[in-house]
Amino acid sequence: MAASSRILGKHDLIRPKYLRKYAFDKMIELDVSESGADLIEGRVPVSVGAKHYMALERQSAEFYPRYLKHLEKLRGC
């Protein structure tokens, strides 16, 4: 178990896996492609080629502002 998971569990806070699940589901809801959401969350296969990675990176850069806007709305900014 990662240190962050132990600390959050010790203080009876939400586990990181549920935050990741929420983030992924919300990005899909905001019409971010699954591959773009995977890249934003750091779930890209090691074997992905540089050309393919750059295409995914451009795609995620295009869609990330949608998710960022949602996070700002949650924070009340």
For residue 2, pLDDT over 70 is answered with no
Per-residue pLDDT band at 25 (split at 50, 70, 90): very high
Structure token pair of residue 36: 């773009």
pTM of the complete model: 0.62
Per-residue pLDDT band at 42 (split at 50, 70, 90): confident
For residue 4, pLDDT over 60 is answered with yes
Question: Taking the C-alpha atoms of 48, 51, 53 and 55 in order, what is their torsion angle to the nearest 10 degrees?
Answer: -140
What's phi and psi for 57, nearest 5 deg?
-65, -45
Per-residue pLDDT band at 6 (split at 50, 70, 90): confident
